Amino acid sequence: MLELKLSESRDLTRIERIGAHSHIRGLGLDSSLEPRGVSEGMVGQTQARKAAGVILQMIKDGKIAGRAILLAGQPGSGKTAIAMGMAKSLGLETPFSMLSASEIFSLEMSKTEALMQAFRKSIGVRIKEETEVIEGEVVEIQIDRPAASGMASKTGKLTLKTTDMETVYDLGLKMIEALGKEKVQSGDVIAIDKASGKITKLGRSFSRSRDYDAMGPQTKFIQCPDGELQKRKEVVHCVTLHEIDVINSRTQGFLALFTGDTGEIRAEVREQIDTKVAEWREEGKAEIVPGVLFIDEVHMLDIECFSFLNRALENEMAPILVVATNRGITAIRGTNYKSPHGIPLDLLDRLLIITTQPYSEDEIRKILDIRSQEEDVEMAEDAKQLLTKIGHETSLRYAIHLITAAALNSQKRKAKTVEVQDVTRVYSLFLDVRRSTQYLMEYQKEYMFNEASMVDGGEDDNVDTMHD
């Protein structure tokens, strides 16, 4: 008997990718900004998280602009995780843009223009406008279709009611199509924008809750609107200053937002937009929402970019700037001078510095537990202990990389859980930095362009060895 194997059908409505920080849900703070031990994917770094929580409160209040924060710490101590936690805690209303410092040099525009665009992307404008809306419960929809096709267009009548009144509206072809598209039926509570004719389905009326025996989980029941059918409603649109810049800078500005071909925007355009937004603020039509700009690996910026940041932070339309670095005392790019974190002293003086501490063995264990859950890997207790020891002696990032590799090795054995032998196997297959360096030291004569194989002539005195 031939047995057919049907492949499992998977729901592909959203892309599910497990990234380095996909387990971060927030900063893990309580209402009084005190950090919890393990919460929202965050482990340890209590002082740094508490400081980030204070900054977060400052951003939410939206009163202070142009503040800058530096997250400094050794590699793998959770600097980017804290920045991601801040982004998640802020929500969708507050703009949060991220970029790596090296991106500035690879864009098809000047360095200062790229930084200015990043600044403008991080400032939101909440624009308020009043629109007339017809809101009510649908009593009846009558659509008259002509007997002979093509002779005349469809016509119809829509009966809407509130608790106080009931009105019949004549429908044109566009409104009939819009009602059909939204699948509106009697008993639905709808809102019609008078200016654009857009129909929004708000839910079903409670009076019709017993019409069907079964309902889908997405069905929402609401009360029948009261008062008059026609109402004036305040609608709020949230955009960033950069989006306004792009739309006003070129004829096809709106399309440029989708293609990404924004190019350089003239200073005059920005000045006009700033003046207009200031007018709207005074009239009460708009509200500025200062967001966050996060620049990772900030030591990769050069002296020109740092000078620009100094000036840009003084502007009243500046966002909160969060930068991160893992460098100690190192040269400022573009100069021969050395400075802490590779940042000029005048900019360092503006920064509030948050330091991250190395993780303890217990914290590494908790992080590995969270990552195992995120990557859907079942691991035996002794395998977790071994992986924790590896993470403590080598690096946390190396231990995290071994989780999926060990899971694949256990699948090969047709085992359901990862055992010690799987971790040991992948540990021998993939080297960490220390073992790789030892290997290079032993076999460096076999490699090209190494110190030992260079011609004796004092040349090897000029060779700089890199230390992480």
Q: In b/e form, how buried is each residue of 169-194, taking b as 16+ CB within 10 angstroms?
A: eebeeebbebbeeeebeebbbbbbee
In this prediction, residue 65 carries a pLDDT of 67
CATH fold label, 18-94+291-358: Rossmann fold (3.40.50)
Nearest to 244 by CA among 202, 221, 272, 205: 272
Which of the listed CATH numbers 1.10.1740.10, 2.40.50.360, 3.40.50.10860, 3.30.565.10 matches domain 125-283?
2.40.50.360
Distance CA 366, CA 353 (A): 26
Instruction: Identify the segments of the chain with pLDDT beneath 70.
Output: 1-19, 62-65, 147-153, 210-217, 250-262, 450-468
Domain boundaries along the sequence of the chain: 18-94+291-358, 125-283, 361-446
Q: What sign does the CA torsion over 454, 458, 462, 468 have?
A: positive
Question: Can you read off the two tokens belonging to residue 391?
Answer: 């993470």
Tens-digit pLDDT profile for residues 218-240: 777 888 888 888 888 777 778 88
Strand 221-222, strand 199-205: pairing: parallel
In this prediction, residue 463 carries a pLDDT of 43
Distance CA 454, CA 447 (A): 11
Question: Can you read off the two tokens belonging to residue 106?
Answer: 């690879």
Structurally, what CATH architecture does the domain formed by 361-446 represent? Orthogonal Bundle (1.10)
In this prediction, residue 462 carries a pLDDT of 44
In this prediction, residue 15 carries a pLDDT of 42
Distance CA 272, CA 268 (A): 6
Tens-digit pLDDT profile for residues 113-160: 889 989 988 888 888 878 888 888 888 888 887 765 554 567 888 888
Query: Is 134 within 8 Å of 229 (Cβ atoms)?
Result: yes
In this prediction, residue 2 carries a pLDDT of 41
Task: Please report the beta strands in 317-384, taking only residues with DSSP state E, as ranges in sequence order.
Answer: 320-325, 329-331, 338-340, 351-355
Report in angstroms the alpha-carbon separations of 226 from 92, 162, 163. Answer: 31, 5, 5
Name the phi and psi angles at 82, rounded to 5.
-65, -40
